[in-house]
Structure 1
């Protein structure tokens, strides 16, 4: 099968400053590096809060990249999915060994696109927002006040009740929610209208994890995402969309690392 990427030559992605936060093990055991990709509105800080150091403590070099226009990366008002996937591929290619790509929320969709351009060791989709009309339908049902204005070009607004589980203390939820920003209008629009990602290069193993109590991603969407890659989702009841900030944040990251140890 021939894949035409003439747009890459005719309209190259402009360079931008990329923020990458890292935590590395005290002793390099040769394990594959992990590259965490946050979803829209989040930055690398999402994983630096707990998961990076925890993964490093278990022997995995851990890195998180902020997509352009997010976190500490350079501004990019008109960036879309192609530019975001480019950021992930470039960050992964800079690592010394073949990386595992781990995307959260809409960052999972970015990872799915990046997998068609980068031969990852494996991939993990966390609370994946893979877009399409089903995503829009769930958003309209569960968050009409924040979604309807976004259809007219306003930033998509997501409440902290959608992001976090009930166990997270209110003051922490407020503090985390205050750090969430907005993706570009173009990226918001493409989340609904994008073409399905091309098949991954090299057919890497893919794990899908989430919670049936996620107020952004429905249980059926988790199942559909996992079936796309030939598996079933690994679920963590009672947790919110941002699993890595929950009071039980250790459970999903340990499950991911256990899975990687078995695969590698």
Structure 2
């Protein structure tokens, strides 16, 4: 029992959810994609939603409150973001697989303690702590320092994408980025470790050794937390779902689901 959940419930908001469903329903578990801070459901609707549906998986993407076309929430907390994910997952027709990108992976890690997911996938996970902040400060001081005083955390084209992505596409994606609340940004530094996941679901970690937001050592630590090793895609940027070779990681994700959790 979590007394705070009852005494101080999270304020309900209107949430944007985008979806793509297969032409033939095969009973496979739905996927719920959770974008990182500054991104909305659009980041997965660009490629991954339709591709997952083409391979038989119902696919959904939620914009956390204050992101995308969800209701503005300038003072949202990590707890509120977790609530958004749990509420959307609970409304899906079957037990879902949670897929979180960037700081959305931190949201998913906390949501796993409240929702019995079929499985989870952490894509280029930003799991918080001062080590994450130090790496971001070294790689992008101009974009990271404003977030320390409540400004917007700004990520550059070079951090998010490889050189293979056409410049016009990269500019379009960067211009679509929003911002997380100041409170949620600060909680990236001080967030407690996630509680144990309900039902001990299998967890896959995906990333790139060339990610300029999440160092390879952080990917290894994240995977070890769940008793595995990260699946790496060299030559890609932080936003694997938007980069030029976006098909490779999502196919690996779907292959893994077909072999392990989906078969269960």
| The two structures share one fold, judged by TM-score above 0.5 | yes
Distance 2:59 2:153 in 1: 30
- Deviation, 1:7, is 1.2
**Structure 1 unaligned regions, length at least 5:** none
Give the secondary structure class of the aligned counterpart of 1:244: coil
- Deviation, 1:158, is 1.1
Q: What pairs with 1:40-55 in structure 2 (closer than 5 Å)?
A: 40-55=37-52
Alignment match of 1:119 (pick from 111, 116, 120): 116
Look up the match of 1:14: 11
Look up the match of 1:135: 132
Distance 1:123 1:132 in 2: 21
Distance 2:23 2:43 in 1: 23
- Deviation, 1:140, is 0.9
- Deviation, 1:152, is 1.4
Tell me the TM-score normalised to structure 1 length.
0.98
Distance 1:134 1:165 in 2: 24
- Answer yes or no: is 1:81 the counterpart of 2:78: yes
Alignment match of 2:182 (pick from 182, 185, 190): 185
- Deviation, 1:147, is 1.1
Provide the aligned C-alpha RMSD in A: 0.6
Give the secondary structure class of the aligned counterpart of 2:258: helix
- Deviation, 1:166, is 1.2
After superposition, what is the alpha-carbon deviation per residue over 1:71-103, rounded to whole angstroms, capped at 9, x for unaligned? 010011110110000000000000010000000
Look up the match of 1:205: 202
**Structure 2 unaligned regions, length at least 5:** none
Look up the match of 1:156: 153
Distance 1:135 1:5 in 2: 29
- Answer yes or no: is 1:34 the counterpart of 2:37: no
Look up the match of 1:169: 166
- Answer yes or no: is 1:220 the counterpart of 2:209: no
Distance 1:146 1:243 in 2: 20
Distance 2:244 2:236 in 1: 9
- Deviation, 1:160, is 1.3
Distance 1:7 1:166 in 2: 47
